[in-house]
Structure 1
Amino acid sequence: MHFDTWLLFSFAVLMIAISPGTMAVLSMNHGIHYGKKRSLVTGFGSVSAAMLLMLASSLGLGAILSNAEYGFVILKWCGGAYLLFLGIKLILSKNKGQDFKLTQPKQKGTPKGIFKQAFTVGISNPKDLLFFSALFPQFIDMSLPQIPQLLILALTWAIIDFSFVMIYASLANVLAPKLTESNKLHWFDRFSGAMFISLAGLLVTRSND
């Protein structure tokens, strides 16, 4: 793989990771409720979803989604429905008030549940779906061995994606004590819920063109 190709890919992934989206909101919410250590599982869930999309793209899913009339639409509506579910769940969550402790979180969040939530959000993330279906294949040089290229691109994505999940989670974790002291933690949940619902609306109304 040429260095300039890798550099362009890294820049594209960096822009995707920095830009606010569903995974950023979920990472911040997990950081506040579960702390930085449990948020590591959020990062693994996000990376796992991306690796699956990357593998599917390399096997031809990108071409299928680009040409199938309903394939992308079905994925888009499924993702929108899940984001809507998350949003409603957060908005209806009960206020734990000042009983919330980062060292002993009151929120029930098993590693399996946190991973499943992050993986589901990641696998239906519109930014990732569009990237892997339309742009990712363009970074593969068909004249060179593909496996080494895929490994380089996968490792690059994993490092950047995981790093920014933890950055968002850590920033939110720092804010958590202040939110708790001012009894505003439930308002953060409602804000997160509203963001998920808004993102769901944007996802399902977005044009496929």
Structure 2
Amino acid sequence: MIDAQQLLLFIAAGWLLNLTPGPDVLYIVTRALQNGLRAGLVAGLGIAAGCLVHVGAAAVGVGALLAASSTAFTLLKWLGAAYLLWLGLRLLRARGDGALAGVVRETAGHAAVPVALKEVFLGGFWTNVLNPKVAIFFLAFVPQFIAPGAGNKALAFVLLGVLFTVNAIPVNGLWALAAAWLVRRVGAVQRGMHWLDRVAGLLFIGFGVRLALTDAPAV
């Protein structure tokens, strides 16, 4: 389905995306700071569960769409390439992660508040499921790593999507563990995010160009 080099690239790109702060990371850090480390870890698991919903929906929907016509593939290809290019340019233009720094400042010095872990899990789940950008990312990113000759492309999509989600769990856990460190080093966070955004931006621009040059259906 995918050679070792491509698999390593897929894993590295997934880790880089999960390290780049967005709504999911903000939710994890907020819960960890407000409700303690356990809540932050559970929030990360809820977000991972939400990703699986996007993976399943995308695998079924894209498989059916591409089976319908080659025109559908061409349309999906250009929409996906445009999204990845937009994502890359947005990251290149970002000036550090002000949203993350703001969350850290607001919660610094506050004592942890007890909360039901089920509530935290569901909050993470719905934070991810209701974010349309996650679905768009899976549609644009995962198909590039599926060989055109793969016998069951929908299954290949699901397997790669599950791998992406499983690999995100330790990254989410690291964000929860890092919450206390972030409180004391907001300035360092902003500088680190500045460079991380740029590396991720260049990577996703490259994926966008690669997708635009794809000739054969990849899902």
What TM-score bracket applies, with the shorter chain setting the length? Answer: 0.5 to 0.7
Amino acid corresponding to residue 64 of structure 2 in structure 1: L
| Superimposed CA distance per residue, residues 83-103 of structure 1 (whole angstroms, 9 cap, x where no aligned partner) | 545675673625335554595
What's the TM-score, normalizing by structure 1? Answer: 0.60
What's the TM-score, normalizing by structure 2? Answer: 0.58
Task: Tell me what 2:45 maps to.
Answer: 40
Q: Given that residues 54 and 135 in structure 2 are in contact (C-alpha distance below 8 angstroms), is that contact kept between their aligned partners in structure 1?
A: yes
Partner residue of 2:19 out of 15, 25, 46: 25
Q: State the distance in 2 between where 1:175 and 1:169 align.
A: 10
Q: Given that residues 84 and 204 in structure 2 are in contact (C-alpha distance below 8 angstroms), is that contact kept between their aligned partners in structure 1?
A: yes
Query: Does 1:185 pair with 2:189?
Result: yes
Amino acid corresponding to residue 49 of structure 1 in structure 2: H
Partner residue of 1:208 out of 201, 210, 213: 213
Q: Given that residues 41 and 172 in structure 2 are in contact (C-alpha distance below 8 angstroms), is that contact kept between their aligned partners in structure 1?
A: yes
> What value does the CA root-mean-square deviation take over the aligned residues?
4.4
**Secondary structure, in 3 states, of the residue corresponding to 1:59?**
helix
Q: State the distance in 2 between where 1:113 and 1:172 align.
A: 16
**Secondary structure, in 3 states, of the residue corresponding to 2:213?**
coil
Deviation for aligned residue 1:138: 1.5
Give the count of matched residue pairs: 185
Q: State the distance in 1 between where 2:58 and 2:128 align.
A: 19
Q: State the distance in 2 between where 1:84 and 1:113 align.
A: 24
Percent of aligned pairs sharing the same letter: 11
Partner residue of 2:79 out of 74, 82, 99: 74
Matches within 5 A, 1:80-95: 80-82=85-87, 84-85=89-90, 91=96, 93=98, 95=101
Q: Given that residues 49 and 123 in structure 1 are in contact (C-alpha distance below 8 angstroms), is that contact kept between their aligned partners in structure 2?
A: no
Amino acid corresponding to residue 81 of structure 1 in structure 2: W
Deviation for aligned residue 1:50: 2.1
Q: Given that residues 80 and 208 in structure 2 are in contact (C-alpha distance below 8 angstroms), is that contact kept between their aligned partners in structure 1?
A: no
Partner residue of 1:128 out of 142, 152, 155: 142
Partner residue of 1:140 out of 147, 152, 155: 152
Deviation for aligned residue 1:61: 1.6
Query: Does 1:115 pair with 2:129?
Result: yes
Deviation for aligned residue 1:72: 0.5
Amino acid corresponding to residue 198 of structure 1 in structure 2: L
Q: State the distance in 2 between where 1:185 and 1:24 align.
A: 15
Query: Does 1:162 pair with 2:155?
Result: no
Partner residue of 2:175 out of 172, 177, 198: 172
* Unmatched runs of 5 consecutive residues or more in structure 2: 32-39, 114-122, 215-219
**Secondary structure, in 3 states, of the residue corresponding to 2:150?**
helix
Cα distance 1:176–1:71, how it changes in 2: closer, same or farther (>3 A)? same
Q: State the distance in 2 between where 1:200 and 1:159 align.
A: 20
Cα distance 1:162–1:201, how it changes in 2: closer, same or farther (>3 A)? closer
* Unmatched runs of 5 consecutive residues or more in structure 1: 1-7, 105-109, 142-148
Deviation for aligned residue 1:78: 2.6
Q: State the distance in 2 between where 1:16 and 1:58 align.
A: 23
Amino acid corresponding to residue 209 of structure 2 in structure 1: T
Q: State the distance in 1 between where 2:79 and 2:17 align.
A: 20
